[in-house]
Amino acid sequence: MRFRLTEDQRALRDGVRGLLARRFDRAALRAAVDRPGRLDRALWRELGAAGFFALRLPEADGGVGLGLPETVLAFEEAGRALLPGPLVATHLAAGRVPGAAEGETVVAAVDAGGLVEWLTEADVVCGEVGGAVPLRSVDPLTPLHRVPGASAAADPVAVLLTAAEQLGTATRACELAVQHARAREQFGQPIGAFQAVKHLCAELLVRVEVARAAVYAAAVTADPVDIAAARLLADEAAVGGARDCLQVHGGMGFTWEADVHLLLKRAWLRTRRAGGGTESEELLAADLLSGGGR
């Protein structure tokens, strides 16, 4: 057992982080907020060229030939950068929908829970979308439709990649909170010197670290029960993290200007994707009776 990132995995993570820092920095994020509902196709193709969608596709089929752990690391970075778009759906379509792997085709999908992200912007939509009704999405960076009467069981890979995105967003929330706590002064000192603030930040980190261990382990085992656990903890880390980050930011956190609301809204949205909440809890409960707790 060596449960830590390999050199290659670190390099891959840093590579994705670097690409996103160059191509989707804060200015790009805010520009995207000002242009809701439109996807940056050039960036999508760049992600495709970098292998983002084809990470798990065998090399023989033109893919990168890596595994779930590497994919999880890439999706974590996407979540950290709040990268918009139907990332999970397009990734899952690679090798099945022409152009998906290369980032030429934007693929949306009907989630097992009946929601579709980026329906109108997508080139291809997987699933039955008759009667789709648009929602005024709470997340300015994710257009949404509801489809009546959906549901197949959730794909465990989709559940895990959602968890990875949540983990990334939770990490970002922790980073932003700590940054602000160091910089903002009140009563003549940085607010991070106050224990009440310090303890919020500590809890942010604890949730991130617990979620990280769960998400990475699930990527290694690919076991549906591990994936359910990872999803629960990552949802908690992302939503709880964004809330605490907002609290640390005070009044500024409640403004449209600050990025905190973008983190929270995206985290909320992902919790509604199939495989979270009750569904995972029931799966984990059933596992206890089948002896899985031991």
Partner 1 sequence: MDLADSPEDAEFRARLREWLGKVLPTLPPKPSPDDWPGRRAYDLGWQRTLYDAGYADVHWQASPGVRLIFLEETEKAGAPYVGAGFVGLLHAGPTIAAEGTAEQRARWLPPILRGEEVWCQGFSEPDAGSDLAALRTRAWRDGDDYVVSGSKIWTSHAEVADWCELLVRTDPAAPKHQGITWLAMPMDAPGITVRPLRTLAGSAEFAEVFLDEVRVPVTHRVGEENDGWRVTMVTLSFERGTAFVGEVVACRRVLGELAVEARRNGRWDDPVLRRRLGALNAEFRALWRLTQWNVSEAEAKGGLPGVGGSVFKLRYSQARQELYDTAADVLGDESLDTDRPWVHDRLSSLSYTIAAGTSQIQRNIVAERILGLPKGR
Applying CB under 8 A, which residues contact partner 1? 1-6, 9, 69, 178, 181-182, 189-190, 192-195, 197-199, 201-203, 205-206, 209-214, 216-217, 219-221, 225-226, 228-230, 232-233, 278, 280-289, 291-294
> Which CA distances in Å does 25 have to 53, 141, 172, 254, 266?
20, 15, 13, 21, 17
Cα–Cα distance list, 103 to 13, 37, 57, 100, 107 (Å): 19, 18, 13, 5, 9
Closer by beta carbon to partner 1, 36 or else 67: 67
Q: Do the beta carbons of residue 266 and residue 142 sit within 8 Å?
A: yes
CA–CA separation, 28 and 31 (whole Å): 5
The β-bridge partners of 189 are 186
Structure tokens at 186: 């009140």
The label of the residue with tokens 């292998």 reads 51
CB of 208: closest distance to partner 1 in angstroms? 9
**The CA-based dihedral angle spanning residues 87, 92, 98, 102, taken in that order and rounded to the nearest 10 degrees:** 50
Q: Which is nearer to partner 1, 72 or 144 (CB)?
A: 72
β-partners of residue 115 are 146
Cβ proximity to partner 1: between 124 and 217 the closer is: 217
CB of 132 to partner 1, least distance (A): 31
The residue length of the chain stands at: 294
- Strand pairing of 107-109 and 124-126? parallel
- Smallest gap from Cβ 127 to partner 1, in A, equals 28
Comparing CB distances to partner 1, the nearer of 96 and 182 is: 182
Residue with Cβ nearer partner 1 (38 or 182)? 182
| Residue closer to partner 1 (CB basis): 40 or 165 | 165
Distance CA 165, CA 184 (A): 28
* Shortest spacing between CB 160 and partner 1, in angstroms: 14
**Least distance in Å: CB of 136 to partner 1?**
31
Q: How far is the CB of 217 from partner 1 (least distance, A)?
A: 4
CB of 212 to partner 1, least distance (A): 8
Q: How many other C-beta atoms can be found within 10 angstroms of the C-beta atom of residue 50?
A: 18
| Residue 116 · residue 147 · CB < 8 Å | yes
Cβ closest to partner 1, residue 178 vs residue 238: 178
